[in-house]
């Protein structure tokens, strides 16, 4: 049994952004908390690595604010606006080159690229610009109601109601209509525009999410000057300074229960820790399928829904160190992030297509063009991500579902994909191959090893509005175990950085102050 020193008010499983915000909130409430982290550093999908002086973000490449992230940090005394820069986006296809800077300029760029579809493009922008204007008023006028308390929550609710009239009128359509349906209405005669404005490699995404992407790409993406790993380290340092504890390389393998109450957890190191409450801030599928000592205590129907639930696609990440100055790279990239549609099709989940990794879009990110300290002097860091399936080509040549499986076929496929990514990125950065001085590829299997996310999923449950287990309820903080709760991108839909951070705060406050109270005051 665990000793008295191993007894906590709350134990948090996972040191990603949800786990850290849960821990910081617990410490703010005066509770003794412990984060048990599988890896050797905090971060999860927001991890970053240094290689030969080059910094690379492994999963997420920047984050929205939408009136949530910065207020959460401000509440904890951790927000410094000088520590953040705007992260600009650009869309590029063989036909289009459009920085997302201003809606009028974007409209003109689209019409120049697709002159035969000018009427549809005007209709599209006439529809989305008022929505994005409403989002700006809602998101930039102050914190969202669910990240503040007391009279601040009352004022935030009143402010949101006064500014949300337009969104309410469009709300049902944006929740019940998919991006493909609206794009087909606007671009029935132009399959290229239908694809990039509608499907974009992700099928059946609610229209609301599409327009949040358009708003945030244009007005509300941010990047920490220290890199995402530096930001996560700052959260972890603050958590420890406030009395919290973190144990690295402590994978929780078992949640031990008595009746329907969790009593302790056991790690891969065979250490046991007791607590009054437990927060799983990681993979819900793993919790149900392998961590519970008695999975039958989980309602059978609920268990089946979640364990069969589809996940977001996985990505390959090419980490490239370039013998190229930030100024030269900026001339090619134009913005921090370029979404490059190599083809107007997607094959991300086609496990048999040998060219699946060459289809759809790639995400090209260059944090060092604004932050040269993230690369050696006179050089630059570049990350290129493409959708691929965890099970592609017979499990990446391994013939196994085990993320630890690696063999010569796996390494050969990695090398091929890496070289293909470099070759295709030369459309954006001519002569790239000759400027690469460091290169490495992380596959979906790499992400699964780092984060324990099943199949290397990038943001929890699928964005497909017909397939997500949370498509009707959006939030799932509770479990059948009375003192075991969910946080992170498996607990909210859609997942991602913002809602994962919010979930960590919400669950920690809900445990100790009541979940209902957070809704009203």
Mean pLDDT over 383-397 rounds to: 95
More confident residue, 31 or 494: 31
Instruction: Tell me the residue length of the chain.
Output: 521
Evaluate if residue 518 carries a pLDDT over 70. Answer: no
More confident residue, 162 or 458: 458
pLDDT, tens only, 477-491? 999 999 999 999 999
- Rg (alpha carbons) of the chain, rounded to whole number: 23
Model's pTM, two decimal places?
0.95
Residue 143: pLDDT band with limits 50, 70, 90: confident
Nearest to 23 by CA among 499, 518, 497, 487: 487
Sheet with 380-388, edge to edge strand ranges: 97-99, 89-92, 337-341, 361-365, 380-388, 314-322, 436-442
Residue 465: pLDDT band with limits 50, 70, 90: confident
Evaluate if residue 163 carries a pLDDT over 90. Answer: no
Task: Tell me the domains of the chain and their CATH numbers.
Answer: 4-40+248-309+459-520 (3.50.50.60), 101-219 (no CATH), 314-451 (no CATH)
> Are 359 and 368 spatial neighbours (Cβ–Cβ below 8 Å)?
no
Q: How far apart are CA 37 and CA 48, in angstroms?
A: 15
Nearest to 17 by CA among 32, 40, 31, 37: 37
Evaluate if residue 521 carries a pLDDT over 60. Answer: no
Q: What is the pLDDT of residue 1?
A: 42
pLDDT, tens only, 412-455? 999 999 999 999 999 999 999 999 999 999 999 999 999 999 99
Q: What is the pLDDT of residue 146?
A: 79
Evaluate if residue 170 carries a pLDDT over 80. Answer: no
List the beta bridge partners of residue 365: 337, 383
More confident residue, 288 or 519: 288
Q: List the alpha helices (DSSP H) in 290-396.
A: 300-307, 326-333, 392-396
Q: What is the pLDDT of residue 334?
A: 96
Mean pLDDT over 461-487 rounds to: 92
pLDDT, tens only, 268-316? 999 999 999 999 999 999 999 999 999 888 888 888 999 999 999 899 9
Looking at every residue in the chain, the average pLDDT score rounds to 93
Q: What is the pLDDT of residue 155?
A: 85
Of 243-252, 344-353, 493-502, minimum mean pLDDT range? 344-353
Q: What is the pLDDT of residue 300?
A: 86
Q: How far apart are CA 147 and CA 250, in angstroms?
A: 30
Percent of the chain with pLDDT over 90: 79
Evaluate if residue 328 carries a pLDDT over 80. Answer: yes
DSSP per-residue letters across 105-155: HHHHHHHHH-GGGHHHHHHHHHHHHHHHHHHHHHHHSS--GGG--HHHHHH
């Amino acid at each position: 049994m665990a000793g008295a020193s191993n007894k906590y008010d709350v134990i948090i499983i996972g040191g990603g952004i949800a786990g850290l915000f849960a821990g910081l909130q617990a410490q703010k409430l005066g509770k003794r908390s412990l984060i048990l982290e599988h890896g050797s550093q905090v971060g999860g999908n927001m991890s970053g690595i240094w290689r030969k002086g080059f910094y690379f973000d492994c999963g997420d490449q920047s984050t929205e604010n939408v009136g949530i992230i910065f207020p959460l940090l401000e509440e904890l005394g951790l927000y410094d606006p000088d520590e953040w820069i705007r992260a600009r986006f650009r869309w590029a296809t063989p036909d289009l080159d459009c920085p997302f800077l201003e809606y009028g300029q974007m409209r003109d760029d689209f019409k120049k690229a697709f002159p035969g579809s000018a009427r549809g493009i005007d209709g599209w922008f006439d529809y989305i610009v008022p929505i994005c204007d409403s989002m700006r008023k809602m998101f930039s006028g102050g914190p969202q109601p669910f990240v503040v308390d007391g009279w601040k929550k009352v004022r935030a609710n009143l402010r949101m109601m006064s500014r949300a009239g337009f969104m309410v009128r469009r709300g049902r359509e944006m929740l019940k209509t998919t991006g493909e349906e609206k794009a087909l209405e606007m671009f029935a005669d132009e399959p290229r525009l239908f694809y990039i404005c509608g499907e974009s490699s992700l099928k059946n995404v609610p229209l609301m999410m599409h327009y949040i992407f358009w708003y945030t790409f244009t007005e509300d993406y941010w990047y920490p000057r220290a890199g995402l790993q530096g930001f996560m380290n700052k959260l972890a340092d603050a958590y420890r300074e406030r009395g919290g504890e973190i144990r690295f390389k402590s994978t929780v393998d078992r949640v031990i229960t008595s009746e329907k109450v969790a009593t302790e957890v056991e790690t891969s190191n065979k250490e046991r820790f007791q607590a009054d409450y437990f927060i799983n801030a990681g993979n819900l599928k793993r919790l149900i399928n392998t961590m519970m000592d008695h999975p039958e205590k989980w309602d059978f129907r609920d268990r089946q829904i979640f364990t069969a639930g589809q996940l977001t696609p996985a990505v390959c990440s090419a980490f490239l160190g370039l013998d190229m100055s930030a100024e030269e790279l900026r001339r090619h990239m134009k913005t921090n992030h370029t979404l490059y549609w190599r083809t107007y099709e997607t094959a991300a989940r086609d496990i048999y297509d040998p060219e699946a990794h060459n289809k759809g879009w790639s995400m090209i990110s260059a944090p060092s063009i604004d932050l040269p300290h993230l690369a050696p002097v006179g050089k630059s860091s570049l990350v290129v991500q493409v959708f691929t399936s965890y099970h592609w080509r017979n499990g990446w040549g391994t013939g196994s579902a085990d993320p630890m499986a690696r063999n010569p076929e796996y390494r050969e496929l990695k090398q091929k994909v890496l070289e293909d990514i470099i070759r295709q990125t030369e459309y954006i950065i001519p002569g790239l191959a000759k400027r690469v001085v460091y290169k490495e590829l992380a596959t979906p299997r790499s992400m699964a090893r780092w984060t324990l996310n099943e199949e290397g999923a990038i943001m929890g449950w699928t964005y497909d509005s017909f397939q997500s287990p949370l498509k009707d309820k959006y939030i799932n903080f509770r479990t059948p175990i009375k003192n075991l709760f969910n946080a992170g991108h498996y607990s909210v839909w859609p997942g991602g950085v913002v809602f994962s951070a919010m979930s960590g705060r919400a669950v920690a406050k809900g445990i100790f102050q009541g979940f209902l109270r957070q809704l009203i005051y």
